[in-house]
Amino acid sequence: MSEFFASLSTMSPAFVVLAAGILAMLIPSVVVRKVLMIAAPLIAGAIMLTTPSIGSFGAFEVAGFTLETYRYDELSRVWGLIFVLIAFLNAIYSVHERSQMSDAAALLYSGAAIGAVFAGDLLTLFFFWELTALASVFLIFAAGGSVAYRAGLRYLAIQVLSGVLLLGGAAVWAQTQGWAFNEIGLDSMAGRIILIGFGIKAGFPLVHMWINDAYPKASATGAVVLSAFTTKLAIYVLARAYAGEDILIVIGAVMAVFPAIFILFEDDMRRCAAYALNSTLGFMVVGVGIGTEKAIAAVAANAFVGVIYIALMFMVLGAVMAQTGTARASQLGGLYRRMPLTALFGVISALALAAAPAFSGFVAKALTLSAVLGEHRGDIWLALVFGSAGVLAHAALKIPYLVFFGPDRGPDHASTVREAPPGMLIAMAMASALCLYLGLDYELLYSLLPGDVAYAPYTLGHILGQAQLLFMVAFAFALALALKLYPARQPISVRDVDWLYRGFGDGAVRWGTVMTIKLIEHIQRGLGGAFSRFGRRLFHLFSPGGALARTVPSGLMAIWTTVILALILIVAYFSPA
């Protein structure tokens, strides 16, 4: 068996998962699809573990370009392992689901993310970058209904924009530097354009809204997969191409802090989890900006454990939504009596998110804070501590309490709610075990990281400092509950920054449509027959046998097709939810 995997070790593991996704689209049998979902990540992981050495494999020529599909090194290995692991956990979690679209989309999305991680050139990266967008949108559509459909279109629009920026910047970059995907930096215009494309998927401030818009509207299982891949892939490419860029330190600090404000008032618990995800991404972006060996190792550590505990939180909320029909705090409460195991897993995910000692978040965030202090950035250290406290108070405490332990604020669920299905429970148990094990046996986690990590997180000072932070925030939360200052008596709909330009854009599109119709009517009345002759002339120009078809290069027509598609996506994004 080992010889079989060794023979595959020069092939990107992504192709195994992608092949399974294609088969899942074609096979109606639920049992076969579930076997594919479980087996494909295991085979991909086996290929990674039997890869003989660090190096580049799987290169081939296409139209004069050399595509490097499997660059295996210390950095890509970390992301490859966690992506394979979360794909496997999702397969267990969704074993009860019968949706063929969800099964196929999850496999294709996972495979595309793995492929992007191992891409050694910008063309290969772009291909998988766009495939993640196209595959993942169906996980939003799978939720059904007009709300999910419109959210999916907005999500697709912003993801396609990210890909367009990547391709445009890469094309300019390749003119002088080639297509190899290595350090890019911000010294060139191409590098700045590519950074914006990466930043969209990383959830940079002002372009983060797609996370909090789309993830809560995905299906119960789809949100788990969405939380794992796109944003962490963006962190990987930032670490690969922009390590040490100072501007990322400031951007990351803002990302770590601002979500706490939105979490405070948000009623949708899955949206709260999405904001918590955005805050944890801030820690990683700061590490990329610091750029030292220790900081990049901290980025990898936070990505590895963050994928697990954020996915676990979405698993818990997905189970709650599947059993109760809602994830809104104003309609939940007291569920620990009916869903005790799910409640336990929810507490574990919250403790890992809060970086409580003995949990995985503690050993990862400690490494980041140490790297920041090592560069004498006390201001950034304070921002990260403040952000950690804010996320703790407004997510790690709010979600478990309001969902499981607080008073029931909605319909009486006692007679109808049951514990989550076995597949969900098994996946949540496995993720919970990893949150604990990686926190206790931190040397195993550190051994997976790039570079030589020599750091002891369990010092007395660090444990006491984190314990004090946890105690003070928990006390403030309990006091607010006792004084009935929290939660709000009426659910509040929190609007993010995207509503500023979505509202303006929607109004502009509507106004432009009305004005265009009026203009056409005026032309028709004024020109009469001349307008008809003009229309016939246009037909002769643009018809398959017309003049433009004979004289205009196909590349120009492709550009116009792209522009029209972009306009359609922009209109869809600006449409009201």
Contact between 405 and 270 (Cβ < 8 Å) = no
The answer to whether position 175 is within a domain reads no
For residue 125, the model assigns a pLDDT of 95
Residues 555 and 437 placed together within one structural domain of the fold: no
Structure tokens at 443: 């040397």
Residues 533 and 556 placed together within one structural domain of the fold: yes
Q: At 66, is the secondary structure helix, strand, or coil? A: strand
More confident residue, 553 or 430: 430
Residues 261 and 361 placed together within one structural domain of the fold: yes
Average pLDDT over residues 222-242: 95
Q: Answer yes or no: is pLDDT of 54 > 80.
A: yes
For residue 540, the model assigns a pLDDT of 56
Contact between 216 and 327 (Cβ < 8 Å) = yes
Contact between 162 and 103 (Cβ < 8 Å) = no
Contact between 531 and 524 (Cβ < 8 Å) = yes
**Domain ends where: 454, 471, 492?**
492
Residues near 564 by Cβ (< 8 Å), separated by ≥ 6?
none
For residue 398, the model assigns a pLDDT of 86
The answer to whether position 413 is within a domain reads yes
Residues 514 and 564 placed together within one structural domain of the fold: yes
The answer to whether position 386 is within a domain reads yes
Q: Answer yes or no: is pLDDT of 133 > 80.
A: yes
Phi, psi torsion values for 366, nearest 5 degrees: -60, -40
Helix 246-257 with 378-391: angle, nearest 10 deg: 30
**Domain ends where: 492, 518, 538?**
492
Contact between 123 and 153 (Cβ < 8 Å) = no
What is the Cα–Cα distance from 327 to 225, expressed in whole angstroms? 17
The answer to whether position 166 is within a domain reads no
> Of 355, 365, 226, which Cα lies nearest the Cα of 286?
365
Q: What percent of the chain has pLDDT over 90?
A: 51
Residues 431 and 516 placed together within one structural domain of the fold: no
Model pTM score: 0.85
For residue 556, the model assigns a pLDDT of 45
Contact between 319 and 420 (Cβ < 8 Å) = yes
What is the Cα–Cα distance from 116 to 241, expressed in whole angstroms? 14
Site of tokens 């405490």: 397
The answer to whether position 146 is within a domain reads no
Peptide bond into 553 cis (omega under 30): no
Q: Answer yes or no: is pLDDT of 558 > 50.
A: no
Task: Give the model confidence (pLDDT) of 17-50 as tens digits.
Answer: 999 999 999 999 999 999 999 999 999 999 998 8
Residues 337 and 484 placed together within one structural domain of the fold: yes
For residue 563, the model assigns a pLDDT of 52
Q: At 311, is the secondary structure helix, strand, or coil? A: helix
Q: pLDDT-based confidence at 409, cuts 50/70/90?
A: low
For residue 452, the model assigns a pLDDT of 85
Residues 400 and 251 placed together within one structural domain of the fold: yes
Q: pLDDT-based confidence at 80, cuts 50/70/90?
A: very high
The answer to whether position 345 is within a domain reads yes
For residue 166, the model assigns a pLDDT of 93
What is the Cα–Cα distance from 278 to 224, expressed in whole angstroms? 15
The answer to whether position 346 is within a domain reads yes
What is the Cα–Cα distance from 567 to 505, expressed in whole angstroms? 12
Q: Answer yes or no: is pLDDT of 549 > 50.
A: no
SS (H, E, C) 132-144: HHHHHHHHHHCCC
Average pLDDT over residues 237-266: 90
Overall number of domains in the chain: 2
Residues 484 and 521 placed together within one structural domain of the fold: no
Residues 525 and 469 placed together within one structural domain of the fold: no
What is the Cα–Cα distance from 275 to 399, expressed in whole angstroms? 12
Q: What percent of the chain has pLDDT over 70?
A: 81
Residues 264 and 394 placed together within one structural domain of the fold: yes
Amino acid at 412: D
Residues 321 and 446 placed together within one structural domain of the fold: yes
The answer to whether position 312 is within a domain reads yes
Quote the domain boundaries for residue 502: 498-574
Residues 471 and 514 placed together within one structural domain of the fold: no
**Domain ends where: 437, 470, 492?**
492
Q: pLDDT-based confidence at 559, cuts 50/70/90?
A: very low
Average pLDDT over residues 546-565: 47
More confident residue, 256 or 406: 256
Q: Is 322 exposed, middle or buried (0-12, 13-18, 19+ CB in 10 A)?
A: middle
Contact between 236 and 160 (Cβ < 8 Å) = no
